[in-house]
A = this chain, B = another copy of it.
Amino acid sequence: MEDKAQIQEAIKAQGEVVRKLKSEKASKDQIDEEVAKLLQLKAQIGGDDGKHQFVLKTAKGTRDYNPKQMAIRERVFSTITGCFKRHGAETIDTPVFELKETLTGKYGEDSKLIYDLKDQGGELLSLRYDLTVPFARYLAMNKITNIKRYHIAKVYRRDNPAMTRGRYREFYQCDFDIAGQYDAMIPDAECLKIVHEILSELDLGDFRIKVNDRRILDGMFAVCGVPDDKFRTICSTVDKLDKMSWEDVRKEMVNEKGLSEEAADQIGEYVSLQGGMELAERLLQDQKMSLSKQACAGLSDIKLLFSYLQLFQATDKVVFDLSLARGLDYYTGIIYEAVLTQACVSTASTDAQNGAEESVSVGSVAGGGRYDGLVGMFDPKGRKVPCVGVSIGIERIFSIMEQKAEASAEKVRTTEVQVMVVSAQKNLLEERLKLVSELWNAGIKAELMYKKNPKLLSQLQHCEESGIPLVAILGEQELKDGVVKLRVVASREEMDISRAALIEEIRRRTSEA
């Protein structure tokens, strides 16, 4: 009982925390988190009736998909897989968890976000953090040196969720990668072409694909006087330029990372540059940059890339941007990231507690690059398999599509039912079961109400609500005459069709639609 008293004290205190946050109009995510803690405390002592109370929620940073969201999700997936298949990709699947050591040393500072499984005896396991590292492990394990594959699956990151902006702890990645020893920039250009095709087809508004190259970044750091052992950490700071001002980035470099002011200022000049093929040409002539062999190799490849993208008619959306860095450790060559330039997610409707309306850019929706060393990290003899790939970040795209669907008048159907079998009188359950079974056996999508004697009106209402186009009505008279009354829901037109002709008639009318 002492325990119980303690918990009740804790509940009181936690209740105060929640009230305070609400009165301060704190963010929904923050309030949700504290409310969850409160509910868990309450669950420990049980509800009013002394019965154990469940905390009815999904894990932090995750969500269920309801049927309407699934319908939208399937539409997006079908566009994406359609594109991947058009480019000749196979698909593979890997387990949701890997040996912990498979993931070790691949993600730089982000490794702290990996979910580990509890040690229940046996191997130490972690949930996958992306699909790229499992792909590299798969290639090395099966000694595959050539493959073009896609993989659509969920990955897991213990990040700070911001669900209204489409940032979750469980989220889908749609990856396309080309592995193999090929001539420069041909597979790389195809990856960018794929991003261009998918973002155009999804019709999310205008977008921009930024490209850069790890070798250009490293070369730039070298000629600006960054010490070798600071390349990675300075790179992480440059990566924040999409969220922070140059002044703040400069401050972090100098004050936190101990870079000299001169070096920081030189970097500042380069990372403000954006352009196309002509910028790569200009930098190849740049007195300082041209001192780095690495940078020159990267710049020549950027030039080649742009020449291929011209043939693909994709240069309109591609920008060579020296501020693009990307955090992951494993990139070795070209890197890229796509951002939507128009779409803003208005969070007001879903985030009422915030009070004010807030418009948030959804940020990057695709990213990738070349990682020629990753497979070699898994091979016992260090044999390398060059790879380049792209990952489409689906959750942010879902957020936009969902809001579009919400805003449009168009009703999203969540089933594909073509016909509902209904009865006009009582005691016709057996006849309905017989007919619906005939339809199923003929491959027609059909359903009936699971009641012995449903009302005709409620059966018809169900059709209207769920968008079922046809109704097959059975009554005493129809049974006597060997017909079914077929009703078109939209026009309310009704006609008698002989049982023998019914299936053909339904097929004809639903293929028309």
Chain B min CB distance to A30 (Å)? 14
A332 on the B face (CB < 8 A) = no
Q: Choose, from A49-57, A279-287, A346-354, the stretch at the interface.
A: A49-57
Which of A19-27, A115-123, A231-239, A317-325 participates in binding chain B?
Answer: A115-123
Q: How far is the CB of A68 from chain B (nearest CB, A)?
A: 9
Q: Tell me, rounded to whole Å, the shortest Cβ–Cβ distance linking A116 to chain B.
A: 4
Contact A63 B95 (CB under 8 A): yes
Interface size on A, residues (CB 8 A): 97
A385-423 vs B: 1/0 string, CB under 8 Å?
000000000000000000000000000001111000000
Task: Assess the B97–A59 pair: CB atoms within 8 A.
Answer: yes
Q: Is A60 an interface position by the 8 A CB rule? A: yes
**A245 CB–B CB distance under 8 Å:** no
In-complex Cβ contact of A57 among B58, B99, B437, B441 (8 A): B99
Closest B residue to A433 by CB, please name it.
B311
Q: Does B311 lie within 8 Å of A434, measured CB to CB?
A: yes
* Contact call A54/B94, Cβ cutoff below 8 A: no
CB of A98 within 8 A of CB of B416, answer no
Pick the contact of A90: B40, B125, B378, B415 (CB < 8 A): B415
Selected A-B contacts with CB under 8 Å, 9 pairs: A54-B377, A56-B140, A56-B378, A58-B99, A59-B99, A65-B92, A67-B149, A70-B92, A96-B156
Known: A70-B91, A183-B450. 5 other contacts (CB 8 A): A55-B99, A58-B99, A65-B94, A66-B142, A88-B415
Q: Would you list the 9 A-B pairs with minimal beta carbon distance, nearest first? A: A88-B447, A182-B450, A67-B90, A62-B95, A116-B118, A65-B93, A186-B450, A311-B433, A90-B414
Residues on A lying within 8 angstroms of B by beta carbon are 36, 40, 43, 47, 51, 53-60, 62-67, 70, 73, 85-99, 101-102, 115-120, 122-123, 125, 127, 137-138, 140-142, 147-149, 154, 156, 158, 170, 178, 180, 182-183, 186-187, 189-190, 193, 197, 308, 311-313, 377-378, 380, 382, 414-417, 429-430, 433-434, 437, 440-441, 443-447, 450-452
